Amino acid sequence: MDFLECSLLFLLIFCFTYSIWFIIYRRTKTSAPTNWPILRELPAVIGNIHRVHAYMTEVLIEYGGTYEFKGPIFTNIDMFFTCDPANIHYIFSKNFLNYPKGPEFRKIFDILGNGIFNVDHELWELHRKTTMSIMSHAKFQILLERTLWDIIEKGLKPILDAFAKQGKDTTSAALTWFFVLLAKNPSIEKKIREEIQQQLHVKEDENLKFFTKEETRKLIYLHGALCETLRLFPSVSLEHKVPLDHDILPSGHRVSPKTRMILPFYVMGRMETLWGKDCLEFKPERWISERGGIKHEPSFKFPAFNAGPRTCLGKEMAFVQMKIVAATIIHNYNIQVVEPENVYPTTSIIMQVKNGLMVKVVKKV
Ligand code: HEM
C-alpha cells in the first residue's frame, strides 16, 4: 500500500467513524425529528407515538415553544405546533375571528354533531348565549348543588364504602390525576386534610356534612392543588386551529389557511420558561398569593380551561364539583394508588390514565 492508498483508507475510516458518532450523538442530544426523504418527519412521530405528549414537550422545549412539523410529501399533513403564550393570546383572543376550529376538528368529533364544542361562527355564538343564560340561572345552580350531593350520597359513597369493606385492589376510572399526584406527594394530601378540618369545622373522626358552593371558596389550598393538577395534566391536552387568512404571529412565524395549528396545553404546563426550574414539581403553593388567596395566572399561560372568547363555561362549576368530591374522598378515605410511578397518560386529546387507575381504598372515618 503506497502513501496515497494509506491516506485514502485513513480518510474513509475517519468519515465512517465520524458519521456513526454523529448519528449516535444526535440521537442522544436532540429530540428534533430527522427530516427523511419522502416520509420527512413522520418516522419520528410513529417511533414516539406511545409517548406522544412527552415527545411533543421535548421538541417544543428544544425549539423555544414553536415547531413546524413536516409530514410526508404530497400528504398535506404538515402541522404547526406552538405553545408560546404570545401566540396563544393572539390566536385565542386578539385575532380570535381568524382562528376557528376548522372542518378537520368537526370530522374528528363528528359524534358531537352541531353542539357548542364542534361549531364555529354564528351557530357557536347562539349556543354560547343560550348555554350561558341557562348556566347562570340561580335555580340551575341550586339544582346542581343538590344533584351533586345526591350522586355522592347515593352513588359515590356506597361504592367506595363497599370497596373499602372488601380493606382489595380495584381498578377505577373515576379517580383522577389529582389522586395520582397526591399519592406521590403525601405531605400535600395531609395539608388538604387539615384545611378541610379547619375551614369546614369538622373533626378528623367526624363524617363530612353537606357543604355549599360558598363554603368551597374557603378551601384555597385544595383549589391550588387542583390548579396544579390541571397545569401538569390538563384534561384537554391540546387544541386545534386553522387560520382563515394569511397571518404573522407575534413570534414572527407566518401561517396560512393551509396551516394546521396544534396548541399543546400539556406542554405549556411543563415549560421551565413559563413556570420556573421546579416546573415538573407538584406545588399547590405556586397558586397561593401573598395575601393568601388564589393567584391569578393569565389563560394564555394556563389554558387548561381554554383562552379568549371560547373559554370553558363550566370552569367555576368544575372547581365546585371537584372540591366537593375531592374533600369528601380525602376526609373519609385513604386512597392508595398502586405503583404511582408507573401511571402514564393516554395519547388521546382528552387526557386520561392509561389502562385505568389501580387503587386501594381504605375507609378512615
Ligand atoms: C376540570 C374540568 C374542566 C376542564 C379542564 C374544562 C376545559 C375546557 C376546555 C379546554 C374547553 C375548550 C374546548 C374546545 O374548545 O375544544 C372547554 C369548553 C367548554 N366547557 Fe369546559 N372544562 C371543564 C369542565 C366543564 C364543566 C363542568 C362544564 C359545564 C357544566 C363545562 C362546560 C364547557 C362548555 C359549554 C364549553 C364550550 C365553550 C365554547 O366553545 O364557547 N366544562 N372546557
Better-predicted residue by pLDDT, 122 or 19: 122
Predicted confidence at residue 174, as pLDDT, reads 34
Q: Check whether 15 has a pLDDT greater than 60.
A: no
Pocket lining: 306 vs ligand 1, CB cutoff 6 Å: yes
Pocket lining: 314 vs ligand 1, CB cutoff 6 Å: yes
Q: Which residues pair with 260 in a beta bridge?
A: 79
Pocket lining: 148 vs ligand 1, CB cutoff 6 Å: no
Residue 20 binned pLDDT confidence (cut-offs 50, 70, 90):
low
Picking from 350, 228, 351, 215, the residue whose alpha carbon sits closest to that of residue 297 is 228
The C-alpha atoms of residue 82 and residue 40 are separated, in whole angstroms, by 20
Gyration radius from the chain CA atoms: 25
Nearest CA to ligand 1 atom 28: 314
CA of 321 to the centre of ligand 1 (A): 14
Residue type, 175: L
Query: What is the mean predicted confidence (pLDDT) over 272-297?
Result: 96
Which atom from ligand 1 is nearest to the alpha carbon of 127?
A: 41
Contact at 8 Å (CB) between 61 and 32?
no
Nearest CA to ligand 1 atom 2: 318
The C-alpha atoms of residue 203 and residue 183 are separated, in whole angstroms, by 23
Q: Check whether 260 has a pLDDT greater than 90.
A: yes
Contact at 8 Å (CB) between 338 and 140?
no
- Per residue in 63-114, pLDDT (tens digit) is 999 999 999 998 888 999 999 999 999 999 999 999 988 777 777 766 667 7
Nearest CA to ligand 1 atom 11: 312
Residues in the chain: 365
Nearest CA to ligand 1 atom 26: 314
The C-alpha atoms of residue 299 and residue 306 are separated, in whole angstroms, by 7
Which atom from ligand 1 is nearest to the alpha carbon of 131?
A: 35
The answer to whether the annotation marks 83 as part of a ligand binding site is no
Predicted confidence at residue 170, as pLDDT, reads 24
The C-alpha atoms of residue 232 and residue 351 are separated, in whole angstroms, by 11
Pocket lining: 236 vs ligand 1, CB cutoff 6 Å: yes
Pocket lining: 115 vs ligand 1, CB cutoff 6 Å: no
- Per residue in 140-161, pLDDT (tens digit) is 888 888 998 898 888 888 877 7
Number of H helices, E strands in the chain: 15, 9
Pocket lining: 235 vs ligand 1, CB cutoff 6 Å: yes
Nearest CA to ligand 1 atom 20: 312
Pocket lining: 116 vs ligand 1, CB cutoff 6 Å: yes
Nearest CA to ligand 1 atom 39: 310
Predicted confidence at residue 348, as pLDDT, reads 78
C-alpha cell at 290: 401573598
Residue 363 binned pLDDT confidence (cut-offs 50, 70, 90):
confident
C-alpha cell at 245: 387568512
Which atom from ligand 1 is nearest to the alpha carbon of 234?
A: 5
Which atom from ligand 1 is nearest to the alpha carbon of 322?
A: 1
